[in-house]
Amino acid sequence: MYDKNKLKDLPQSPGIYMMKNNQGEIIYVGKAINLRNRVRQYFHSPHNLTSKTAVLVSHIETIETIVTGSEMEALILECNLIKTHMPRYNILLKDDKSYPWIRVTTNEEYPRIMMTREYKKDGGKYFGPFTSSFAVKNTIEAILKIYPLKTCSRQVISGKKNGRPCLNYHIGQCQAPCQGNVSREKYRQDIQAILDILNGRHPNLIRSLKDKMKAASLNLNYEEAAKYRDQIAGIEHIVEKQKIISNSKQDQDFIAMATEDEIGCIQVFHVREGKLMGRDHFFMEGIKEVAVSEVMESFVKQYYASCGFIPKEIILKEKIDDRETIEAWLNLTAGKKIEIQISQKGKKMKMLEMVEENADLALKQHLLEKRQKLERSQSRLDGLADLLKLETKPKRIEAYDISNISGTNNVGGMVVFEEGRLNRNACRRFKIKSVEGQNDYASMQEMVFRRMERAMKTQLPNTFLPLPEIMMIDGGVGHVAAVESIVSLYPVSIAVCGLVKDDHHRLRGIHFKGQEYPLKKATPLGVFLFEISEEVHRYTLGYHQVLRKKEMLTSRLEEIPGVGKKRREVLMAHFGNINAIKRANMEEIMTIPGMQKKTAQAIVEYFHRES
C-alpha cells in the first residue's frame, strides 16, 4: 500500500505519474498540470472513487513522476508510455495496426505506384489511409492495367538505356522507360492522370479521354479508340465505390462510440476530399464506470499517436477535456492546423449517428462471437470432464511432447490451455540435459520433473503456477506411466492422460487410468483434443528445428582446415554467432588465445569464397 505521507514530496509541476504495484509493474499512467494535486485526489476521498479506481489504489505500492515543460509535453509522454507498457488500469486501444496507403513516388524521375504502411515526408504523394489492404492492392492493380508504369526500383534516366527490359515489358505491363521507350513528358501525363483519379478529379479526365476516343474513331484509328475506351471503363470501375457524403472537399474523420458492459466499440469513418474512403472499428477495454468523454479522449490520443495521417477535421459527438492541448499536439504532429469539432446538429450530426449505429452493430457482433467462443470452450471442457469422470471442469490443461532425431537435439515442449483456450504466454520449451540418446520416457520425466520443481520453488518469481488439473502426454501407456511416477512424488492431484496416435501419427484416442477412450473427430471434444495434440507437436518440433539449424550452421566451421570441435566451440564462444565470424578479419580472429595464423587465414578465405 502506498504511503500517503509521500504525497507532500510530489512536485507541483506539469508532468506524468506512473503508479506501480508491489512487483514493480506499471499499472497506470496519467498526466497532470499539477502532479501533487492530481495524485492526491486518488487518496483524499476514497468513498467518491469508482470501484475500478478503488481497486487500482489498493494495488499502488510506489508512484514515480516525470516533470515536463508543459501540459502538451506531458500528453505526448503519456501516450508513449501507455503504448509501451500497456498498463492494466488504463483504457487501452485493442487494435494497434498500421494502415495501408497508396504511394506515388513523384520525387522520382519516372514515378511508381505502390502500397505502403508507412507515411513519410519524402516528396511522394500519399493517398489514404485505407482500412483494407485487399482494396488497395486491387486499386493499384486496376490502375497499372490502364497505365502500365514501371514497378521495379531500377534507376532510369530519360533517353538512356539501363540493362535489358524485364518480363513485364514483354507481357505488356510496363512501358520500359529503362529502354528509352517513353518520354518523361508522356510518362508524367500518365502520372498526372493517376493523381487525378486518386484525388477524385476523374470527371474531367474521363471527358478528355472520351473526346480523344471520338477523335480516334472518326480517324478510323479503332485500335487507339479501343485503348481509350478501356481506360475510361477502368477509371469508372475504380471510382464507382467512392461515396460522396460531403460537398466540403475536406479530409475528415467521424468518430462515435457504442458501449456495453466493460467494452466500448469506437467506429471511425474516413472521409477524404468529401468521399467516404473506408471505415474501421476498435475496441476499448476497462471502461466500466468511465465517462464516455474520458474514453473518447483516451482513444483520440492513442489512435492519432500512431496514425500516419491526421485529417484537418476530427468530428466527435461528445466534448472531451484538454481539447485545446490535444489540438496543439495534433498540430505539432501533423505539421498543419487540426480542428476537433463537437457536432450536435446538422449533416455532421446525422453522419455521426450513422457511425454510432455501425459501432453498435460491430459491438453486438463482437460480444456474440465472444459468447459463442466461451460456450464452445465450456462445451469442450464439459465433455472432457464427463469422459474422465472428473468432479469439476478443468481450468488449466498442459500438454507435453518430445522431439529429437536419433537422440540428437533432444527437446521438450509444454503448451497450456486455460478455460479451453491456448495461453501462448504460459507455454514453455525445455532443452533435455540429463538424457543421452533416444529415450522418450526419460526425457518426458526430466521435463515434467523440472516443471514441478519450478512450481514448488515459491520463493522465486514463478511462471509455472497454477498447477494444471490435467497433464496430457503425447504417447501411450508407457509415457503416461513414466510421467505418473514423477507426479506421484508431489502432494498434488493431477490427472495424467496419454494422447494416443495411430500408425499414421493421427490422434486415435486418449489413455486414462489404464483404459483407452476412442475419440470421434466430429465432436467438440474430438476437435479440442486434436487441437491440443497438433499444437504441442508443432510447438516442440519448431524448437527442435531451430536448434538443429543452429547446430548445422556452427558445424560448418569444422569444414575449415585447422578447425575441429574444440576450436569451433572457442570461436562461437568468442564471437557469439556464425555471422560475426563471417565478418571478422585476420586481426580480430588472431585475438583468440592459441589461434594460429594459418588457421585464421583459412577461416577468412573460407567465408570470402562463400560470399
Report pLDDT digits (tens) over 565-593: 788 778 878 887 777 888 888 888 888 88
Report pLDDT digits (tens) over 528-573: 888 899 899 999 888 888 877 766 666 667 778 888 878 877 887 8
Question: Dihedral of the CA atoms 112, 118, 120, 126 (nearest 10)?
Answer: 50
Helices (runs of H) and strands (runs of E) counted in the chain: 18, 21
Phi, psi of 342 (to 5 degrees): -110, 110
Say whether 560-610 and 4-90 share the same fold: no
Averaged pLDDT, 183-204:
80
- Categorize the per-residue pLDDT at 449 as very low, low, confident or very high, splitting at 50, 70 and 90: very high
Distances in Å between the Cα of 528 and the Cα atoms of 130, 471, 477, 479, 480 are 37, 15, 21, 21, 20
Burial of 48 (0-12, 13-18, 19+ CB in 10 A): exposed
Report the amino acid identity of residue 155: Q
What are the extents of the domains in the chain?
4-90, 101-200, 252-364, 396-551, 560-610
Q: Closest Cα partner for 31 from 84, 67, 4, 83?
A: 67
pLDDT at 99: 65
Averaged pLDDT, 4-30:
88
pLDDT at 96: 46
Q: What is the mean pLDDT of the chain?
A: 83
pLDDT at 1: 74
In three-state secondary structure terms, 504 is coil
Q: Taking the CA of residue 181 as centre, how many other CA atoms within 13 Å lie in the half-sphere pointing to its CB? A: 15
DSSP code for 282? E
Residue 574 CB contacts under 8 Å (≥ 6 apart), including other chains = 591, 592
- Categorize the per-residue pLDDT at 470 as very low, low, confident or very high, splitting at 50, 70 and 90: very high
Burial of 522 (0-12, 13-18, 19+ CB in 10 A): exposed
Phi, psi of 416 (to 5 degrees): -125, 130
Instruction: Report which of residues 123 and 359 the model is more confident about.
Output: 359
Q: What percent of the chain has pLDDT over 70?
A: 91
Look up the CATH architecture of domain 4-90. Answer: 3-Layer(aba) Sandwich (3.40)
Residue 534's CB: how many other CB atoms inside 10 A? 13
Does pTM top 0.85 for this prediction?
no
Task: Using the CB atoms, write b or e for 85-97: b if 16+ within 10 Å.
Answer: eebebbbbbeeee
Residue 507's CB: how many other CB atoms inside 10 A? 20
Are the beta carbons of 595 and 581 closer than 8 angstroms?
no
Report pLDDT digits (tens) over 397-407: 999 998 877 65
Does 485 have pLDDT greater than 70?
yes
- Categorize the per-residue pLDDT at 452 as very low, low, confident or very high, splitting at 50, 70 and 90: very high
Cis peptide before 177 (omega within 30 of 0): no
Does 254 have pLDDT greater than 70?
yes
pLDDT at 156: 77
Does domain 252-364 correspond to CATH entry 3.30.420? Answer: yes
pLDDT at 139: 74
pLDDT at 212: 85
- Categorize the per-residue pLDDT at 247 as very low, low, confident or very high, splitting at 50, 70 and 90: low
pLDDT at 75: 83
Task: Using the CB atoms, write b or e for 321-351: b if 16+ within 10 Å.
Answer: ebbebbbbbbeeeeeeebebeebeeeebeeb
Specify the CATH class of 560-610 in words.
mainly alpha
- What is the rounded CA–CA span in Å between residue 384 and residue 531? 14
Report pLDDT digits (tens) over 285-331: 778 778 888 888 888 888 888 776 788 999 998 888 888 899 999 99
CA 261 to chain centre: 26
Q: Which three cell numbers stand for residue 445?
A: 520425466
Instruction: Report which of residues 242 and 448 the model is more confident about.
Output: 448
Averaged pLDDT, 406-416:
82
Look up the CATH architecture of domain 396-551. Answer: 2-Layer Sandwich (3.30)
Averaged pLDDT, 276-285:
77
Tell me which long-range contacts 442-447 makes (C-beta under 8 A, separation of at least 24). 442/482, 443/402, 443/404, 443/410, 443/412, 444/400, 444/402, 444/412, 444/473, 444/475, 444/479, 444/482, 444/483, 445/482, 445/483, 445/485, 445/486, 446/412, 447/400, 447/402, 447/412, 447/414
Report pLDDT digits (tens) over 48-92: 777 778 888 888 888 888 888 788 788 878 887 887 788 888 877
Residue 58's CB: how many other CB atoms inside 10 A? 11
- Categorize the per-residue pLDDT at 98 as very low, low, confident or very high, splitting at 50, 70 and 90: low
Pairing of the two strands 408-418 and 421-422:
antiparallel
pLDDT at 235: 67
Residue 10's CB: how many other CB atoms inside 10 A? 19
Averaged pLDDT, 448-468:
80
Angle value at C-alpha 349, between 348 and 354, nearest 5 degrees: 95
- Residue 402's DSSP bridge partners are 412
- Categorize the per-residue pLDDT at 446 as very low, low, confident or very high, splitting at 50, 70 and 90: very high
Averaged pLDDT, 455-476:
81
Q: Which three cell numbers stand for residue 397?
A: 490443461
Taking only Cα atoms into account, the Rg of the chain, rounded to an integer number of angstroms, comes to 32
